[in-house]
Structure 1
């Protein structure tokens, strides 16, 4: 596990469900415990966050989506008092229901679930996003008429090489590989990896070696292992692994919707958050990185874990439990990867945790 320790955690939440918006917390490096410093409800439903730095000063900048039908993104500076303050304007993303965002090539990118699109906004010297520079709209659908009648972009992120941008689409059962033009802020489709129909891919995480990616499926509790070729910009699905025990209680009333996948810094473990089952699954990875094996599933410390995040030290795992309104943290066993519950704080409608 790594030695770096985060000083702060930033927690997103749904203001429409009673959340406080963005919560800033100081982290105790020895216990993992967060202490709330400040909050901001300057944007509605900041369900996902990302951390970057202002190009001009190097200061930490916190980015947030506004997961509303109109769709927007904003940047925040965090002062010594711990309160987040808006930097620049809240920018429309020309897409509905943005659920994820990331930084790449001098731009802020948002994945817009409602409109099935990805938006690029240039980042200014102060870190604030500018007006939209490009929108790439997905096409297609899946077999689940209730969830896959149209594209639903759920995640956007750069690959480890920095050459490509990947977008995970729940509605089309696919992952698209795109090229971002840093000069114009436009996105071009390069390739598309088709996953098994009806799986509903939600998020992916890369192995630290950069040669593999793990796509977590929301409509079936599985993870799809993929080989990643950065030189060619191609993602190749290799197979699926269940993220829940075979004897887990599955039915219409307790259907499981996995939400997030995390890989350990040393590449030995993979964790998933499982809504409905309300658990964190632990999968071990061998030297090939292609054969995850389910080792355990432990309680998430609440209900409906929407997000799962590993701190920079690799010692602490945090679950944002949306329906129970809390963030739980766990000590990670360095030998087994199994997390042990260490504590919890109240965060109504919690949806995301990131670190700086």
Structure 2
């Protein structure tokens, strides 16, 4: 057991594919290595996680056909195993793949249903019954993947004024306003991206004025300008996240922006790589400078460690979390170690 000052990582996984649920790992004194110290299989397929401010509560989706969300009490030094707070709560949506906290509510992106659900949080932080479901509409040109909306991510913008939902099925990002009193989402606007790109996840630049959308069906990232005052996302250009000669499956999954805004990293499944993109001073131009092996197979998630000097890839099909030391001048990740984590799907630190 580590002491209370040791930083922890929480690893989500697919129990339906042999995962152990939510794993708790402690960060070693070197600031990089992980050691698993606890786990909970109380929720089926907790594929994506989010920590509450302060790190005492951990939220998880249950990426099942029924779809649910749950809260765990975490952080106790004497017992690292997550403790489930009540039963998982239905989200009125199928296969939730992502969740985020905003204005006293928990929001889930429901992939199969193509919707975003809003759940109010009780005084103890546990989610209550759904207050609102925003259903997306539309489709895209890629047969078998874009026959209907597929909300893949939902997150608040840095200003806290808006909620953005990234939809793979409709090649779009929807901007809404969340009413904290009622828990309802009011649609504000939609940004259309290039048809067939299949946007999956979005990350903001530290300046708060730019965002980057990682596309799953095309191995590219779309550079965008974000106007928080107006609530408008403007697509500027696309940049590849794999080399020109790359072949085979190339399905980008997650992206991370460096705290100083100089680099962007993206995980690519199939190609099993981590892309390094250099950002210019304006934040509006990205250039692929390197592509390195992810240390395993099928990197579903990518996270930056607390120091900003290490990246962690959750390699779903090889069943591990691999960490990398990042060169602060070039942004190049170098493999430094790994820990077994069957069917790993997500890593968060707190």
TM-score normalized by structure 1? Answer: 0.95
Deviations 1:46-97 (A, max 9, x none): 00000004xxxx6610000000000000000113211000113310000000
Equivalent residue for 1:25? 25
Q: Residue 74 of structure 1 contacts residue 87 of structure 1 at CA under 8 Å; is this kept in 2?
A: yes
Query: Distance between the aligned counterparts of 1:324 and 1:10, measured in 2?
Result: 18
Distance 1:46 1:114, change over 3 A: same
State the 4+ residue runs in structure 1 displaced beyond 6 angstroms. Answer: none
TM-superposed deviation, 1:188: 1.2
RMSD of the TM alignment (CA)? Answer: 1.1
Q: Residue 6 of structure 1 contacts residue 312 of structure 1 at CA under 8 Å; is this kept in 2?
A: no
1:11 aligned to 2:11?
A: yes
Query: Distance between the aligned counterparts of 2:26 and 2:302, measured in 1?
Result: 18
- Among 247, 264, 269, the residue aligned to 2:263: 269
TM-superposed deviation, 1:6: 7.3
Comparing 133-142 with 84-93, greater Cα deviation is found at 84-93
Question: 1:166-181 to 2 correspondence within 5 Å?
Answer: 166-181=164-179
- Secondary structure in 1 matching 2:16: helix
Deviations 1:257-314 (A, max 9, x none): 0000110000000000000000000000111101101110000000000000001210
Query: Distance between the aligned counterparts of 1:173 and 1:222, measured in 2?
Result: 13
- Among 56, 72, 75, the residue aligned to 1:76: 72
Q: Residue 73 of structure 1 contacts residue 92 of structure 1 at CA under 8 Å; is this kept in 2?
A: yes
Q: Residue 320 of structure 2 contacts residue 341 of structure 2 at CA under 8 Å; is this kept in 1?
A: yes
Q: Residue 108 of structure 1 contacts residue 123 of structure 1 at CA under 8 Å; is this kept in 2?
A: yes
Equivalent residue for 1:245? 243
Equivalent residue for 1:66? 62
- Secondary structure in 2 matching 1:16: helix
Q: Residue 6 of structure 1 contacts residue 311 of structure 1 at CA under 8 Å; is this kept in 2?
A: no
Query: Distance between the aligned counterparts of 2:185 and 2:345, measured in 1?
Result: 28
Question: 1:37-56 to 2 correspondence within 5 Å?
Answer: 37-53=37-53
Query: Distance between the aligned counterparts of 1:18 and 1:312, measured in 2?
Result: 28
Equivalent residue for 2:180? 182
Q: Residue 89 of structure 1 contacts residue 128 of structure 1 at CA under 8 Å; is this kept in 2?
A: no
Query: Distance between the aligned counterparts of 1:137 and 1:194, measured in 2?
Result: 17
Instruction: Give unmatched runs, 5+ long, in structure 2.
Output: none
Question: 1:1-356 to 2 correspondence within 5 Å?
Answer: 7-53=7-53, 60-78=56-74, 79-80=76-77, 81-248=79-246, 250=247, 254-356=248-350
Query: Distance between the aligned counterparts of 2:6 and 2:273, measured in 1?
Result: 24
Q: Residue 88 of structure 1 contacts residue 129 of structure 1 at CA under 8 Å; is this kept in 2?
A: no
Query: Distance between the aligned counterparts of 1:302 and 1:70, measured in 2?
Result: 31
Query: Distance between the aligned counterparts of 1:6 and 1:287, measured in 2?
Result: 35
- Secondary structure in 1 matching 2:235: strand
Comparing 119-128 with 29-38, greater Cα deviation is found at 29-38
Distance 1:138 1:29, change over 3 A: farther
Query: Distance between the aligned counterparts of 1:322 and 1:202, measured in 2?
Result: 17
TM-superposed deviation, 1:210: 0.4
Query: Distance between the aligned counterparts of 1:255 and 1:331, measured in 2?
Result: 26
Query: Distance between the aligned counterparts of 1:199 and 1:91, measured in 2?
Result: 33
TM-superposed deviation, 1:29: 4.0
Aligned length: 344
TM-score normalized by structure 2? Answer: 0.97
